[in-house]
Structure 1
């Protein structure tokens, strides 16, 4: 019987955006999601139809590519700490009110990254009436994708997290900051992924919750809930030992 990874890999691939051309695809997809689909950003501020900011140069980016149509379904980035200036603030520290500093007391700045621009194109979203959210789901997929393909759409979110795990393993990141939609946090909780809330909801690309998580705790929580998902998050166990 095919595993979740096998089913996902049949239709999609996780692609590091390391070339200039792929980074342009990242920015184009973000423009589509943030400016056109959700309205969180004003298209007038992005005349080149690309959404990017000052943190992109210090980030590692990934894309999820749909193989059959050669289109990009989703993207995310991990903002890395600044090696020359470890005290440089992350976006969460600039745009959120952090009220629980003890949650990250003692965490080395060089082991801390921020999950950011975590989004899925509306064409690959699975729940009706949620196409106005960053990871919500569109009702208009039946005409384009087979039933087997649509079954894999929920795993796009898992694949984005897997990309972040890979980045973290390769760059020595043990903790993630994130500012996420409450709906996404609830979904992650069903997988065993529990971010620690470190402040109140903030209005940043919609109402979003600032939080932090240790990557090893994330993987341990998933292992207890669904070992098959753990295999996907760690690329069949390849990166599991990086966080022990």
Structure 2
């Protein structure tokens, strides 16, 4: 079966990888600084020494990067924060900043086995890959986009979906069953349309824009991915890349500190 032209273009022009050295991590934190501090002012520049947007969760997180092949630019990034981290924090980012918005439902991070819970966090796409047809509306691009023309494969949903599938593959490889994310409802609608039925488990609040807590179970995600040829290709591509690159937690902490 022929591959979808969008995924063909995506694999041709972008590399997906886990940053495994301090230099690669510095590129991640610099990208986040450009997007979250300079462009959208979600974080204060003065709180980010050496133009590195980094917080207490990064040492325990698994990071994923999209790199533009021809330019070597870090085009996008995302991290997966485990609830059972080894650092000084005891809460997921959404629990620390958004707990008051959670709905009274069983599918909340504070009501599930902590060892099986993670949060998809800090998803960002570089501005140069979003500035088409108003795509600079959010750090992930214009989440209102309904369709993607073949010649616009660099735009948001393609890059963001590639990163989200990378995060899903990482969470699966690390044995996480429950994934959460703070996101715009319109992004959740795009994920649903492409095959991932995200469930809203929190009220809308102001947190890096108008966002709410969303949840998906690993089995539900797997079923949705396997039903979608588009997502299945992105997911298995990421899974194959990350297989064999699992890193001991102590090594991950050491290199984040070195960055």
- The answer, yes or no, to whether TM exceeds 0.5 is yes
Q: Flag structure 1 segments of 5+ consecutive residues without an equivalent.
A: 138-146, 240-244
Q: Equivalent of 1:31, from 14, 33, 36?
A: 33
Q: 1:14 to 1:237 in 2, by over 3 A?
A: closer
1:175 aligns with 2:174: no
* 1:120 Cα deviation from its structure 2 partner: 0.7
* 1:83 Cα deviation from its structure 2 partner: 5.3
Kindly indicate whether the alpha-carbon contact (under 8 Å) linking 2:10 and 2:153 is maintained by their aligned counterparts in 1. no
Cα shift readout 1:174-217 (whole Å, capped 9, x = no counterpart) = 11111012231222122122222112112111111112111221
* 1:70 Cα deviation from its structure 2 partner: 0.8
* 1:71 Cα deviation from its structure 2 partner: 0.5
Q: Equivalent of 1:113, from 90, 107, 118?
A: 118
Q: Equivalent of 2:104, from 97, 100, 113?
A: 100
Cα shift readout 1:7-31 (whole Å, capped 9, x = no counterpart) = 2111001010121111111100000
CA RMSD of aligned residues (A): 2.6
Counterpart of 1:8 in structure 2 is 10
1:159 aligns with 2:162: yes
Counterpart of 1:223 in structure 2 is 226
Q: Flag structure 2 segments of 5+ consecutive residues without an equivalent.
A: 143-148, 242-259
Q: Equivalent of 1:46, from 40, 45, 48?
A: 48
In 2, the alpha carbon distance for the partners of 1:130 and 1:81 equals 32
In 1, the alpha carbon distance for the partners of 2:64 and 2:124 equals 11
The TM-score with structure 1 as length reference comes to 0.84
Q: Greater CA deviation, 228-237 or 182-191?
A: 228-237
Kindly indicate whether the alpha-carbon contact (under 8 Å) linking 2:77 and 2:122 is maintained by their aligned counterparts in 1. yes
Counterpart of 2:57 in structure 1 is 55
Runs of 4+ in structure 1 off by over 4 angstroms are 236-239
In 2, the alpha carbon distance for the partners of 1:121 and 1:152 equals 11
Cα shift readout 1:106-164 (whole Å, capped 9, x = no counterpart) = 73211110100011111112652341411115xxxxxxxxx976324342112101211
Relative contact order (alpha carbons < 8 A, sep ≥ 6): 1 or 2 greater? 2
